[in-house]
Amino acid sequence: MIELTDVSVRYDDSRPPELREVNLAVEEGELALVVGRTGAGKSTLLGTINGLVPHFTGGRLSGRVIVNGLDTRDHPPREMAEVVGRVGQDPVAGFVADTVEEELAYGMEQLGVPPATMRKRVEETLDLLGVAELRGRSLATLSGGQQQRVAIGAALVTSPSVLVLDEPTSALDPGAAEEVLAAITRLVHDLGTTVVMAEHRLERAVQYADSVIVLPGDGVVRSGDPATMMIDSPVAPPVVELGRLCSWSPLPLSVRDARRAARPLRSRLGMPGTRTRPAGDTTLTARGVLVRYGDRVAVRGIDLDLAAGTVTALMGRNGSGKSSLLWALQGSGVRTAGSVVVDRVDTATSDPPGPVALVPQTAADLLYLETVSEECEVAGPAARDLLDRLAPGIPDEQNPRDLSEGQRLSLVLAIQLAADPKVLLLDEPTRGLDYLAKQRLTEQLDLLARNGCAVLVATHDVEFVAGSADRVVVLADGDVIADGPTAEVVASSPIFAPQVAKVLAPTPFLTVGDVAAAVGSLA
Amino acid sequence: MQRLPAPVHPLAWWLWAIGMAVAASFTTNPLLLLLLIGVSCFVVVVRRGNAPWARSLRVYLALGAFIVVVRVVFRCLLGAVGTGPVLVDLPRIPLPDWAAGITLLGPVHVSDLLDGLYDGLHLAAMIICVGAANSLANPKRLLKVVPISLYDIGTVVVVAVSVFPQLAESIARVRRAQRLRPVPGGRWHLVRRMIVPVLADALDRSLLLAAAMDSRGYGRRGATSPRTRRAVAVATVIGLIAVSIGIFGVLDGQAAAVFRWPAFVFGAVLAAAGLVFSARERTVTRYRPDPFDLAAWGVSISGLAAGVLMLLATEYAPAHLSTSTDPVQWPIVDLLPLLASVVGLIAVLVSPPRAIQEQEVVA
């Protein structure tokens, strides 16, 4: 179905090639998962399949890419549209129409499908993806999961034989991600569509894959059976890490397989050792925080205390009020009622940089200078040292916009920490980070907490929470519905439980690190 | 007749707005201009949906205010040549001979202030009228009216138009984020810390949208040879340019005869021929197109009527279309121009409520 022969891609002669002599074949009806670190060339590889690379992006491609008999050399993306449907990371950025129905029809209009057929296929696609009740809604008012399902529907409605998905769940909460992945697997099963998908959250996707394409870096590409490829893949979900740790063979890819393999381990393991991070005094005291925008109440009178030296995770659906709460705590956002006190001073009255630092969802919004050193200079004398401690080896003269997601996050962290805040708030920091970058962030937050900072992280990422937080607060519809130690809150929830907890239940282990420590102490 | 909630054809809103803008172009009477701005804003507020582009009116109003301020400041400080009572007596700074025609400072007369104000208002009114169309009609739906021979130009225009309202969103977001960072010294920083993230954001979004459109088959061509296609595209563009020159010539009144009706007719024929040809090779079909129905006719006619009535006013009641600034006079409004300024309100009566808005209330 998809055949790449000796494909090399180079955007700039002065830089190493993005892809180097790639030979790859994806069979019809296969779900192929593209795995690799950020910047390893996943998006480039996906782009070659419908000709966006190099027709749209520029650069030089040598070799041949043939999809369903069409060579991308002779067919630009708009002509490949009949064969290849593509869904990007941010569904909103790719929407052309304004209502669900029109968005679905758009691709068919371009291909000149007769109106009667169009009407019928739009209805079928609405049903297939379970979005029929949304048909007349404006795209801007949909939730993230609904938007992404509409985007998939829009790519699918022309019945292409290949569907290319570039990190379709990276912006979604766990429930919505589940929704989208379920829709994708259904397509593979029912329609026989060939799917090529890049995904950061392997814990959800790898069990459904028929083959895995690994990009270890340096432009090389390897592909094969998932269980074999995951043995030495540079990124791996916790369940695979656990399998590697215990040298299970074959390597389990799903929680179900791992549970069966883990039977002897469960009986052998005792209780996990407690993580040692002593909580300090209460730094931030919030009472009755209420945020409303017109008629909509985003946060309904929340009380919250944050203690020095702790990392607290703030979880909940998209739109449950996490961001509003963070901005209200910081002091510069809307706060309709209530008080937030740090050091006996209300945060709303302090000028920036106040005692509460916040890293916003789009961290790049804070950056505006041409080089890393300029940014650090403006932020204060401590910034550069902090950056070197958080992420060593970022050159001074680098443009902040050319940094990787993880490096950019570290830079913004360093800038915000330069004023020595008592409390640090982070809004969705793990978006676009791969496992290693998340590990790095976990270590950074641990370092900050040990230095006496109170950290609050709003995130969807269950595995990240399991590895880094002492305490979890769950919001729903503006209210706190759960608040307690990570192990208690997370392990008892069907949606928020991390993979290791599911595998080893009822023993309350959360991360592979905990298991490794326990196994080490056994041996 | 029962009026079902439905979107009005986007072209109708654009025709309405162009009519209003034309009306504004014929007068510098501040009362009429304010009336036109008021009517545009009223129609937008009543008939817009709550999609992102619908919130851009504020940006256009701000742009209008900026134009007025700049116009007044420049007029008073750089081009003060008025007569009549002096408002502030600034010392004139002598300029060398090669800068003849420019005066730096000098006495500022009341007429300078008012001339600048009226001129600025004139331009601002036209921009706000066109901005109103942008808030009322989804710019992306206009795409469907773009013929394929203008594909590349159409893409540029649509991406530019749809990025502008999104710009308003990202400005709000960046401003919120930048409040988290202390303000360093220097005014240059103040400008840069807004502009750089906003522009980077706009650029990224445009590229993503264009890539998505390309992957979904936008701009596919029929079997016509590339050379014919290029010839047709060139002919169409030349035709449209000629039409623009023609309109300009007709409105200017001092242009050479060739650049007036002949240019307009020549351009219209050429453009129409190009469009008809490309429409025939077009492979695009339409999904449930907005009909150009009674409501659409009503909306476009009410806007165009504003333009036509104001044009008639230049013929039959030209006395108070411009207001004297020396001696200073309170602006007077005649019946015909008054009608021209408010006839645009009919659009509210004839257009149905927005469909999308209704559903959002339910949701």
Task: Tell me what pLDDT residue B165 has.
Answer: 66
Q: Which two three-digit tokens encode residue A232?
A: 């030495």
Same domain, A510 and A444: no
Neighbours of B346 (CB within 10 A): 18
Pick the more confident residue, A301 or B143: A301
Over its C-alpha atoms, chain B yields an Rg (Å, rounded) of 24
Using 50, 70 and 90 to split pLDDT, how confident is the model at B150? low
Q: How is residue A209 written in tokens? A: 């894959």
Coil/strand/helix, residue A485? strand
Instruction: Tell which wins on pLDDT, B24 or B253.
Output: B24
Q: Are residues A323 and A200 in the same domain?
A: no
Residue range A254-263, pLDDT digits in tens: 999 999 998 8
User: What's residue B357's pLDDT?
Assistant: 42
Residue A121 and residue A100: Cα distance in Å, rounded?
Answer: 13
Q: Check pLDDT > 80 for residue A35.
A: yes
Contacts of B154 in chain A (CB under 8 A): none
Residue to mutate among B4, B216, B286, B288, with most A CBs inside 10 A, is: B216
Cα separation, A256 vs A245, in Å, equals 17
Quote the pLDDT of residue B4: 63
CA–CA dist A362, A426 (Å, integer): 11
pLDDT at B356: 47
In a domain, A407, yes or no: yes
A60-71 pLDDT per residue, tens: 999 999 999 999
Cα separation, A82 vs A59, in Å, equals 24
Q: What is the dihedral of CA B225, B227, B233, B236, to 10 degrees?
A: -100
| B285 contacts on A by Cβ (under 8 Å) | 108-109, 112-115, 118
Q: How far is CA B75 from CA B24, B28, B71, B145, in A?
A: 21, 16, 6, 41
Q: Do A52 and B211 touch (CB under 8 A)?
A: yes
pLDDT reading at A447 higher than 70: yes
Confidence class for position B318, pLDDT limits 50, 70, 90 = confident
Interface residue of A109, A125, A158, A376 to substitute, partner B, most B CBs within 10 Å: A109
Mean pLDDT of chain B: 79
Region of residue B245 (phi > 0: left; psi between -120 and 50: alpha; otherwise: beta): alpha
Banded model confidence at residue B359, pLDDT cuts 50, 70, 90: very low
Q: What was the pLDDT predicted at B182?
A: 74
Under a CB-based contact definition with an 8 Å cutoff, are residues A367 and A411 in contact? yes
Q: Is A505 a member of any domain? A: yes
CA-based nearest distance B332→chain A, Å:
41
From the CA of B325, how many Å to the nearest CA of chain A?
45
pLDDT of B149 above 90: no
Provide the percentage of residues in chain A whose pLDDT is more than 70.
Answer: 99
> Is it the case that residue A144 has pLDDT exceeding 50?
yes
Q: For B284, which of A55, A112, A330 is closest by C-beta distance?
A: A112
Strands (E), chain B: 86-93, 104-109
Q: Which residue has the tokens 């200078």?
A: A369
Q: Is the pLDDT of residue B118 over 60?
A: yes
Which of B231, B89, B104, B53 is CA-nearest to residue A140?
B53
Cβ contact, residue pair A352, B200, below 8 Å: no
Question: Is A336 found in the same domain as A244?
Answer: no
- Residue whose structure tokens are 């519905």: A481
Q: Between B301 and A15, whose confidence is greater?
A: B301
Would the CB atoms of B212 and A88 count as touching at under 8 Å? yes
Domain with residue A47: its CATH number is 3.40.50.300
Query: A258 and A393, same structural domain?
Result: no
Contact A187, A119 (CB under 8 A): no
User: What's the confidence (pLDDT) of residue B183?
Assistant: 67
Does A277 fall in a domain?
Answer: no
Q: Which helix (H) or strand (E) holds B68?
A: helix B57-78
Q: Which amino acid is at A42?
A: K
Q: Is residue A28 part of a domain?
A: yes
Instruction: Reply yes or no on whether the pLDDT at A454 is more than 90.
Output: yes
Of B287, B345, B303, nearest in space to B43 by CA: B345
Write the pLDDT tens digit of every residue in A369-393: 888 888 888 888 888 888 888 888 8
Q: Are residues A249 and A313 in the same domain?
A: no
The yes-or-no verdict on residue A270 having pLDDT over 80 is no
What confidence tier does A197 reach under pLDDT thresholds 50, 70, 90? very high
Q: What percent of chain B has pLDDT over 90?
A: 11
Contact A98, B141 (CB under 8 A): yes
Residue A16 lies in a domain: yes
Number of folded domains in chain A?
3
* Cβ-nearest to B363 among A137, A327, A366: A137
Nearest to A433 by CA among A412, A455, A472, A464: A464
pLDDT tens by residue, B254-269: 777 777 788 888 888 8
Clarify whether residues A247 and A183 are in a common domain.
no
For residues A221 and B103, which has the higher predicted lDDT (pLDDT)?
A221
My answer on whether A199 and A263 are in the same domain is no
Mean pLDDT for A283-287 is 93
Residue B361 has pLDDT above 50, yes or no: no
Residue A57: closest C-alpha in chain B: B211
CA distance A66 to A49: 8
Q: Name the strand (E) or helix (H) holding A86.
A: strand A84-87
Highest mean pLDDT among A216-220, B206-210, B224-228, B299-303: B299-303
A104-135 tens-digit pLDDT: 998 898 888 898 999 999 999 998 888 888 88
Both A307 and A254 in a single domain? Answer: no
pLDDT-based confidence at A492, cuts 50/70/90?
Answer: confident
Kindly determine whether residue B356 and residue A112, on different chains, have CB atoms separated by under 8 Å: no
Residue A374 has which token pair? Answer: 């300029």
Q: In this predicted structure, what is the pLDDT of residue A491?
A: 80
Confidence of residue A276 (pLDDT cuts 50, 70, 90): low
CA distances for A126 relative to A137, A156, B226, B357, angstroms: 12, 11, 38, 21
Using the predicted structure, report yes or no on whether residue B200 has a pLDDT greater than 90.
Answer: no
Nearest to B49 among A56, A138, A369 (CB): A138
Domain assignment present for residue A263? The answer is yes
- Domain locations along chain B: 10-146+288-362, 224-283
Average pLDDT over residues B207-219: 85
Contacts of B181 in chain A (CB under 8 A): 352-353, 366, 379, 415-416
Range of the domain at A246: 237-268+498-523
Are residues B176 and A330, on separate chains, in Cβ contact within 8 Å?
no
Average pLDDT, chain A: 88
Which residue reads 């799903």 in tokens?
A254
Q: How far is CA B281 from CA A74, B144, B149, B232, in A?
A: 21, 15, 9, 11
**Does pLDDT of A23 surpass 90?**
yes
The proportion of chain A whose per-residue pLDDT surpasses 90, expressed as a percent, equals 37
Kindly report the pTM of this predicted structure: 0.75
> Is there a domain that residue A478 lies in?
yes
Using the predicted structure, report yes or no on whether residue B208 has a pLDDT greater than 50.
yes
